[in-house]
Structure formats: structure tokens, C-alpha cells
Amino acid sequence: MKGRNTRNRLVVTLLCAVCGVLGLTVGVAPQALAQSNGVLLTGTITDGAGETMEGVVVSVRAEGSNLTTSVYTDADGVYVFPRMDPAHVQLRAQAVSYAAARADPRPSGAVHRHDFVMRSIEHFEAQLPGDRWVAALPEDTPEDRRMKTVFRSMCGGCHSQNTALLTRFDEQGWLNIITVMSRIATSGYVASPMSPGLAREDRAPSPLMDYYKERLAAYLAKVRGPGPSLMHFEPRPRPTGDAVLVVIREYDTPGQGYGLPDWENGSNWIEGAPSKTNRANHHAMDGTLDFDGNLYFSDDLNTNPYRSIGKIDWRTGEITNVHVPRRATPEMASAVHDLIADQEGTLWFGADGRLVSVDPDTLEWELMTTPEGEIVPAGGFHDKDGLGGIWGALGRGAVRYDPKTRETTRYQNPTQKSTLGSTGSYGMAGDRDGNGWLSVYGLDIMTKHEYATGRSYDIQLPPSPYAPADDLFVGDDRRIFDMMGGSLFHGKGHPWMHTIRKPGGGEPSDAVWGPGWTSDHLVKIDIETHEITLYPLPYRDGGCYQAVVDLDGIIWTVFTNADAVARFDPESEEWTWYDLPTVGTESHGLQVVRVNGRTQVGVPYWGSSKMAKLEFLTHAERDALKTVAMAATAASR
């Protein structure tokens, strides 16, 4: 593996006629432009009035393929795909509040043009991601505001809010649903038969859901009952500017025996989010990339005989499985949560409580051991630090493994017990200086484990800027939250907290960045002074699940319930929002890798069994493709 960090080689690719026409000099071409032959698929999209539409997502998929490629229209309503092999393809254009436009062309020649006219529709709420459903919930009275806050705390952790609200019920129906949900452990409704009791009727209900169930049922029946709805739906603005420069490749990652998911699985927005009760949709928990742009994803199902992680060839979509056997039942594959790549390109993850590395070139795996031959322990959450150490959250503490010396160092969280909430850890981040950070989300604490000194200490986070007004929850309404501390149903923190999920750090940032799942803020903690700065996320209720720092110091975040990825520039403090082409992604993470000198983002879709890759063109590169496409189509007329 020596020298893999030097594999970010420059691949000088001339853009054929593009460079000839525009005189461009391209030092490093993104993979989206790497293919110089094939068909350039393009077209213009207009609405019913003949106006061009920016920010419409256009997706293409060849027959029999597991790869869907998506691009967005620019300010002129023009879409243009990277060159592709001629084949019978399915083509679809979508925008919220419009019916999908479809075609089945057989592209041929150097350029193939297909225009679309989009027709608006009246009822488009099924197309919306979960955060837009929460935005539509009324809050006209104090009780409405209380119940909307309770809904935020209880109904967006084990599934997206669009799943919870898509179907209408009367008050008794909502009461039945809340009662059942109060007794279900996280993901218990898709639990393995080998894990009985996760959804038993005799399970003690969540105190919070039990306390509020009648009032919440009445509220939901008022807003999503059989009668006229009080919800006013507004889609997010369609992408513009830099946000339309993204090329998104989505690869289906089906489990054995399920076959390829239908192309409609989350990709046809009008059908709403895929069902979380369907086990076919649960085969991409986490993921990353290698230096060649190939994708890797972890499989977190507990009844999986064949795959711990999978490798996806980015060009063909071919999947190669890696089976790390369980200790007790070797014929079964170990379930894997976090999957990361270190500075050398080596893959790391925890499998059945053991730290495992994988060579991405050979896919050979190895159990990590200490010099004394002891197995290095591992939990579910991992990250690398700036000194090459591999960190893992482990119970109420953390462990750091040095791949060079094979030494293992354990750390304990300072707070081991509390009457206020859970002291368990969530997420793991390594910073530039070799320190480890994790979230004690039940207490709204970030714990720092200092590599140089061996010290461990807690950093208390400030209250959420979006905390409810003091007079909204009083008496028993407040005591039920205080009684449960911060460890609420499905790990959702109470409304006064940030509830950091999976923080991120590392070179070149001088900070650790925590995504506020509850507070809808990005939390910056200076790794030396511990000064805390809060940045509001672009939208509320998206479920910001992970923050990752790239080699340029840019922060990337993923939104479980908003089906989106966002880019935050710490210098300008500006956000760029990238909508994903699938509804119901429920992404639990993302990783960022430099491929041929360019940033690429890998995103797993746990809710629809896909692994996605985001590549980013420059304005000049996209304009060059567009110029060639428009010139070719003009010449053919």
C-alpha cells in the first residue's frame, strides 16, 4: 500500500472538439468528461408556457444497467450528459410540482437531442422530501407549535417525515400508529428473526410518545386527516448557479435474492419514498471512494450471508462482494456500519467487534492485531486522524489504532453515568493533530480524547438557537422531556439540544465540525481553544447526519430527511445545496476523496439501496460540452 497517497496523479485529458472550439486548457479532467467518444445526450426543457426551466433533474439509465446518471438544466433550460455508449436508454426529467416527462430514445451519432415540455400538477406533496413536509405543518396556535415540536422530536428518527405523513388517518388511526411506534426499537420493524422481541406488544412504550400520544393524534388528524388538509406545501427553489454543475451517478446495491431494484425505486418522485419495511431497500449503510473513483459501501443487515462491504466499478456498475465472517457463524457475513478510507487509500471498518482493513486493489481483508497478537476492538463508528491513526467509538469511550506500530490506545469518556440522559457515544472524528472526538449526544457533549497527553475531557455545547420559547413547554409538558434527559426515542435529542450525529475533522481544518441533527446548525469547535461557533443550516428538519472536511478545508454535509448534500465554505460562510435525484435516500453518511486532483463525494442511500457519487464540473467545462452539443444539433437542422 506504500505510496498510494501519491496516486492522485494528473490525468491530462484533452476535451476533443470542445477544447478545439473554445481553446480550453484542461489540466485535470473530471471522470464525467473522461470519455472522449460515445453519444452526447442533450436537450432543452420548457414549461407549458414555453419558458425554459433551470434546475430540472434529467436522469438516464441503459436497459439492464444498475447505473443511473443525472444532471441538471442550466439557466437556458439546457441539459447535457457526459458522453455515453450508444444504447437503448430510459430518459426522465423531473421537477417538483410537475409531472415527470419520459422518453425511451436510442441515441446515435455524436450528439442526440431530446427536448421535454413539463406539465404542472396540483397535488405534488408525494414528490417532497421529509423536511418540506415538516415545513408545511401549521403552527398557528401555541398547541400547534407544541405538537409540531413534539413531532420533530418523535417522528423523524427511524424514518423520514414524508413516510410518516404521506398517508392520511383519522384520530383513532393516528393514535394506533403512535401507540405501535412507541414500542418499536430503532429499525425493529425490519429486525432479523434472530433478534426477537424488538417490536413486542409488551415492550414498555417510550414515555414521551405515551405522554403526548392523544394530543399528537388530534393534531395529526387535524392536519393529515380525512378532511381538507391545513398543510401548505412549498418546494425548495430549484438548483441554480454552481448547484447545476454536479453530475450524480447512482448505483443500485441490491442484496442477494432481491434482483435489481426497479428504476422507479425512489427515482419516480410522485410515488413517494420507498418503504423502509422492504428489506430490499437496506443494503448501503455507509460508503466511500478510492483514488480511481470506484465506490465502496457497507451492508448493515444482520441476516446477510454474502457481503460485509461491496466494491462498485464506477464505469460498469459491477459489484464485487467482500465477506468478513462472523465469529460465531462464519457462514454469515459480519454487518458493517462506518466505512472509511485513510490517507493511503486503505479501507477500514468494524466487523463483529473487530477492526478490519481492506486493500482496495486486491480486496484482501485483514483483522488488525496488536504486537502481542490481541485482536483490536472496534465499534460501529470510525475515522482517521491527521497523523494516520484510526479511531473508533467504543461503548462509553474510544480506541485509537496506529497502523505503523500496531499499538492500540483506549480512552474513557469523563462522564460515565448521568441522571440527565444517555452517556453513550455516537459518531467518531479524528482531527488534524491526532486527537479523537465523539458525541455524547444524550448530554449534548462533545468529548475530546487528546492523543499527545492521553487526557480526555468534555466540552458542553450551548443551547440550540432554535430552542422553543420558555413558555411553550411548562409544567408536565416540560418535565417529561427533563425526565428523559437527552436520550429520546431513536436518539433524537430534546428541542433544546444540538444532538451531534457524526462529526468530522482532519487536514487542513483547525476545527471539528458537528452536524446538529436537532438544532439544524453546523457546530464548529476549535481544536485548540475549544471556542464554539454555530452556523445555521440552509433549511430546517433535514436531519444533518455527518460532516466531512475535504483537502481544501471545505465542509460537506449530508441530510438524511432532505435527500441532499451541502457544501459549506468556512471562509465565505456560504452554502451550496445539491439536491439528490432520489426521494427517500435516508443517507447515514458521506465521504469525500480526491480523485485525479478533483473532489468527489460518495453518498450511501440506506433507504433505497443505492450508492451515489457526486462529481463537479467547472462552468467552463460545462459550457464547453454545451457549446459542442448546441453546435451539433444546430448543424443537423
Q: pLDDT tens-digit profile of 603-636?
A: 999 999 999 999 999 999 999 999 998 887 777 6
**490 pLDDT more than 70:** no
Per-residue pLDDT at 229:
87
Per-residue pLDDT at 185:
63
Q: Specify whether 163 is located in the same domain as 283.
A: no
Averaged over 284-292, what is the pLDDT? 96
Q: Specify whether 209 is located in the same domain as 169.
A: yes
Q: Which CATH number is 297's domain given?
A: 2.130.10.10
pLDDT band at 36 (very low <50, low <70, confident <90, very high): low
CB 312 within 8 A of CB 326: no
CB 484 within 8 A of CB 497: no
Per-residue pLDDT at 190:
37
pLDDT band at 491 (very low <50, low <70, confident <90, very high): low
**521 pLDDT more than 70:** yes
Averaged over 445-469, what is the pLDDT? 96
Per-residue pLDDT at 492:
65
Question: Among 15-29, 43-57, 349-363, where is mean pLDDT lowest?
Answer: 15-29
- Residue entry with cell 453518511: 589
Question: Cβ neighbours of residue 213 under 8 Å, at least 6 residues apart?
Answer: 175, 178, 179, 182
Question: Among 153-162, 218-227, 248-257, 566-575, where is mean pLDDT lowest?
Answer: 153-162
Averaged over 474-478, what is the pLDDT? 95
Averaged over 417-446, what is the pLDDT? 89
pLDDT band at 23 (very low <50, low <70, confident <90, very high): very low
pLDDT band at 200 (very low <50, low <70, confident <90, very high): low
C-alpha 260/C-alpha 268 separation (Å) is 16
Per-residue pLDDT at 418:
79
Averaged over 260-276, what is the pLDDT? 83
Q: Decide if 264 is inside a domain.
A: yes
Q: Decide if 142 is inside a domain.
A: yes
Q: Specify whether 87 is located in the same domain as 164.
A: no
Q: Decide if 485 is inside a domain.
A: no
Q: Decide if 172 is inside a domain.
A: yes
* Residue 138, domain extent: 127-224
Q: Decide if 301 is inside a domain.
A: yes
Per-residue pLDDT at 459:
97
Spatial strand order of the sheet with 544-549 comes to 544-549, 555-559, 564-569, 574-579
Per-residue pLDDT at 86:
87
Question: Among 269-283, 330-344, 392-406, 497-511, where is mean pLDDT lowest?
Answer: 269-283
Question: Cβ neighbours of residue 6 under 8 Å, at least 6 residues apart?
Answer: none
Averaged over 171-187, what is the pLDDT? 84
Question: Cβ neighbours of residue 346 under 8 Å, at least 6 residues apart?
Answer: 1, 4, 357, 358, 359, 360, 403
Per-residue pLDDT at 612:
98
For 148-163, letters b (16+ CB in 10 Å) and e give: bbbbbbbbbbbbbbbb
For 16-45, letters b (16+ CB in 10 Å) and e give: eebeeeeeeebeebbbbbbeeeebbbbbbb
Q: Specify whether 132 is located in the same domain as 9.
A: no
Per-residue pLDDT at 442:
84
Total structural domains in the chain?
3
**What would the grid cell of residue 481 be?**
422531556
Question: Cβ neighbours of residue 168 under 8 Å, at least 6 residues apart?
Answer: 224, 225, 226, 229
CB 236 within 8 A of CB 575: no
C-alpha 435/C-alpha 453 separation (Å) is 10
pLDDT band at 423 (very low <50, low <70, confident <90, very high): confident
Q: Decide if 354 is inside a domain.
A: yes
Question: Among 136-140, 244-248, 250-254, 417-421, where is mean pLDDT lowest?
Answer: 417-421
**What would the grid cell of residue 239 be?**
438548483
Q: Over 526-592, what HEC string results?
A: ECCCCCEEEEECCCCCCCEEEEEECCCCCEEEEECCCCEEEEEECCCCEEEEEECCCCCCCCCCCEE
Q: Specify whether 131 is located in the same domain as 196.
A: yes
C-alpha 401/C-alpha 448 separation (Å) is 16
Q: Specify whether 398 is located in the same domain as 433.
A: yes
Q: Specify whether 114 is located in the same domain as 142.
A: no
Averaged over 501-526, what is the pLDDT? 97
Per-residue pLDDT at 33:
78
Per-residue pLDDT at 485:
63
- Residue entry with cell 462529526: 503
CB 87 within 8 A of CB 62: yes
Average pLDDT, the chain: 89
Averaged over 419-442, what is the pLDDT? 89
Model pTM score:
0.93
Averaged over 270-274, what is the pLDDT? 91
Q: Specify whether 25 is located in the same domain as 79.
A: yes
Per-residue pLDDT at 194:
40
Residue scoring higher pLDDT (637 or 470): 470
Strand partners, 565: 558, 578
Residue scoring higher pLDDT (153 or 561): 561
Q: Specify whether 448 is located in the same domain as 592.
A: yes
CB 590 within 8 A of CB 544: no
Q: Decide if 477 is inside a domain.
A: no
**1 pLDDT more than 60:** no
pLDDT per residue over 560-588, tens digit each?
A: 999 999 999 999 999 999 999 999 999 99
Q: Specify whether 131 is located in the same domain as 114.
A: no
Question: Among 45-59, 132-146, 279-293, 308-322, where is mean pLDDT lowest?
Answer: 279-293
C-alpha 242/C-alpha 617 separation (Å) is 9
CA angle 361, 502, 607 (to 5 degrees): 75
**What would the grid cell of residue 446 be?**
462533545
CB 553 within 8 A of CB 570: yes
Q: What are phi and psi of 320, to 5 degrees?
A: -115, 125
Q: Specify whether 202 is located in the same domain as 300.
A: no
pLDDT band at 295 (very low <50, low <70, confident <90, very high): very high
Q: How big is the chain, counted in residues?
A: 637
E strands, 385-461, where? 390-393, 397-401, 408-412, 426-430, 436-440, 445-449, 456-460
**What would the grid cell of residue 424 be?**
453513550
**391 pLDDT more than 70:** yes
Averaged over 319-324, what is the pLDDT? 96
Q: Which CATH number is 94's domain given?
A: 2.60.40.1120
Per-residue pLDDT at 196:
44
Q: Specify whether 61 is located in the same domain as 174.
A: no
**CA-atom Rg of the chain in angstroms:** 24
Averaged over 123-144, what is the pLDDT? 96
Helix (H, G, I), strand (E, B) or coil at 230: coil
Following CA atoms 341, 192, 561, 437 in sequence, which dihedral angle do they give, to the nearest 10 degrees? -40
Residue 485 zone, left/alpha/beta (φ > 0; ψ -120 to 50; rest): left
**554 pLDDT more than 90:** yes
**553 pLDDT more than 90:** yes
**Cα–chain center distance at 599:** 17
Q: Decide if 285 is inside a domain.
A: yes
Helix (H, G, I), strand (E, B) or coil at 429: strand
